[in-house]
Amino acid sequence: MKKQEKVQFVIDTLEKLYPETPIPLDHADPYTLLVAVLLSAQCTDARVNTVTPALFDLADNPHDMMRQEVDEIKAIIRPCGLSPRKSKAISELSRILVEEHGGEVPQSFEALEALPGVGHKTASVVMSQAFGVPAFPVDTHIHRLADRWKLSTGKNVVQTEKDLKRLFPKEIWNKLHLQIIFFGREYCPARGHQPEKCPICSVIGRRSMFTN
């Protein structure tokens, strides 16, 4: 099985398993998505979704959020971990959105990545899921699966993102990255993975008989 055949197999399998790809993080608009994605660093989406209702009851827009005490934000988001850093980032980025972007989340990678607490992956999620701009956010699930499926030899998420963007059509990036995340959680976990029972690894995984 050649690499392009593997790519098509992955596309076909994921489309069959996950024809619909709801965004895992609960949000109402680009701002609440941005905050939710920031909170999801080193935290599960499920836990973020239990925390954000109280946070967004406190403030669900940058104008209101910038007026809140950082300690109050920190107390609410503590279950997500890294609360001192995340609370400060949420407060500061809210102020910057108001003062420099008219209270709106900017629609560019450069402007998003300039915000406190917002790296390339977070910016990619917001650009793809809030604004529909083609992006391929690579998290630990995607990084792990790209290696298992021999689609990337990247030692970090940056190289893996480049490899996957080269292999997969741009028009499916936004849906595909969610499909891979869902698949990783259900069939291809980091621990307790059973390659022979995995719908993709059993065919093209690292222990497969196939070669590049």
Active-site residue, 139 included: yes
In a shared domain, residues 198 and 159: yes
Taking only the tens place, the pLDDT of each residue in 35-48 is 999 999 999 999 99
**Alpha carbon separation from 121 to 2, 10, 15, 55 (Å, rounded):** 29, 22, 23, 22
Of 26, 45, 139, 147, the catalytic one is: 139
98 and 16 co-located in one domain = no
Range from 137-151, 173-187, 196-210 carrying the lowest mean pLDDT: 196-210
pLDDT tens per residue across span 56-88 = 999 999 999 999 999 999 999 999 999 999 999
Is the Cβ–Cβ distance between 60 and 31 less than 8 Å? yes
- Based on the domain organization, do 57 and 148 belong to the same domain? no
Domain extent, residue 110, equals: 30-129
Domain boundary among 129, 149, 184: 129
| CATH label of the domain that carries residue 96 | 1.10.340.30
Query: pLDDT tens digits, residue range 53-63?
Result: 999 999 999 99
Global confidence as pTM: 0.90
Confidence of residue 205 (pLDDT cuts 50, 70, 90): low
